[in-house]
Amino acid sequence: MIKLFFLTCMLITCYADTQMSERLKVIMGTFVSISIEKSHKTLLEPSFAIVSKVDNSLSTYKKNSPISRLNANKHSLLDNYAYEALFKALVYYKETDGYFNIAIGAITKDLYRFGAKERIVPSHELQKASVAIKSLRLKKYEAFLDDNIKVDLGGMGKGFAVDKVTQFLLQKGVKKAIIALSGDIRCIGSCKIVVNNPLDKTDPLALFFMQNSGVSTSGNYNRYVKTTKHNHLINPKTKQSQQQFISVTLVSKLPSTTLDAYATAVSVMPIKKAYAFLDSKDLGYIILQADKKLIISKNIDDYVYLMKKDTLKKQK
């Protein structure tokens, strides 16, 4: 069966204080947690409504979403969210040298079918799948695809939803909140973050605080078919599931959409290219490699504070 570990094996855990109101719902195929200062608790339901709106726009499972219509009909009118997300996806494609590529939908949706009936896909079938992002053509609020292409915004969609809720809360004058969708978390004000260790549940990879920042974790151990060898992180250049990294965590004041896309891209890059890319960006990172080495960027203190120092097994 497809392994989906949620509360018992979250990629990241965040902690809200007792002065905040917190609610948890299942949206976008994951747990969505929003904590907010009690004086603004009436904003909780509108915040969840924004996440649902993003889901209705970007989902590949809801037949009436603009993205599902695009995949099915190779043409669709777009709402604001769908247009913005597709436009950003093309930008991230260029920034990451093609390692962030939403055209992997032909693999994730038609072949592996993550989230549906499981299937181990033979290599020869994977190699036939087209991931040609140039097939995606955007006009204002309209998109087109070639017949053999499907898009999948799963590599940035949760970060996108986090950003939309964050923007809403800031506009309402909120000074303290935590928005968390699976491995994507945004803190308005300060919050405590624990990066969970897939190798040892009793010993986190890192524990730290951050201020008005975001964190995004991508891992090959929380969604796969039968074994992590067939995980959901597909390298669009080789069309194979990535094997270099167990966990990639990025921390920055950059938008959560950007962090989510970067974490997805870095997870499938060759190791040297991944670190070169990360070191060129305004972010810190905590990475558990496949060889079980924990690599933490030397600049991590620029993005976090009160970090548990005994987690620093090796710095790059």
Cα separation, 16 vs 189, in Å, equals 11
Cα–Cα nearest to 92, from 30, 148, 40, 160: 160
Indicate left, alpha or beta for 107 from its phi (over 0: left) and psi (-120 to 50: alpha).
alpha
Q: Which of 22-26, 118-122, 233-237, 291-295 has the lowest mean pLDDT?
A: 118-122
* Sign (positive or negative) of CA dihedral 38, 172, 187, 157: positive
pLDDT of residue 224: 45
Strand 227-231 and strand 234-235: the pairing is unpaired
Domain ranges of the chain: 8-37+182-311
Of residues 29 and 220, more confidently modeled = 29
- Does CATH place domain 8-37+182-311 in 3.10.520.10? yes
pTM, 2 dp: 0.89
- Bridge partners of 224, per DSSP, are 3, 231
Give the CA radius of gyration of the chain.
19
Residue 189: which pLDDT band, with cuts at 50, 70 and 90?
very high
What single string gives the DSSP state of each residue in 140-167? Answer: TTEEE--TT-----TTTHHHHHHHHHHH
Cα separation, 94 vs 273, in Å, equals 15
Cα separation, 304 vs 131, in Å, equals 37
Cα–Cα nearest to 69, from 148, 13, 157, 143: 143
Q: Which of 185-199, 220-234, 262-276 has the lowest mean pLDDT?
A: 220-234
Evaluate if residue 5 carries a pLDDT over 70. no
Cα separation, 104 vs 155, in Å, equals 10
Cα separation, 38 vs 68, in Å, equals 38
Cα–Cα nearest to 116, from 60, 155, 70: 60
Evaluate if residue 241 carries a pLDDT over 60. yes
pLDDT of residue 243: 72
Cα separation, 165 vs 245, in Å, equals 30
Alpha helix (H) residue ranges in 37-79: 44-58, 66-73
Q: Which residues of 80-89 are buried (b: 16+ CB within 10 A; e: fewer)?
A: ebbbbbbebb
- What's phi and psi for 36, nearest 5 deg? -150, 150
**pLDDT tens-digit map of 51-96:** 999 999 999 999 999 999 999 999 999 999 999 999 999 999 999 9
**pLDDT tens-digit map of 133-170:** 999 999 989 999 999 999 999 999 999 999 999 999 99
Cα–Cα nearest to 56, from 156, 141, 138, 161: 161
* Tally of residues, the chain: 316
Q: Within 13 Å, how many C-alpha atoms sit on residue 285's CB side?
A: 27
**pLDDT tens-digit map of 164-174:** 999 999 999 99
Q: What is the mean pLDDT of residues 23-48?
A: 96
pLDDT of residue 230: 47
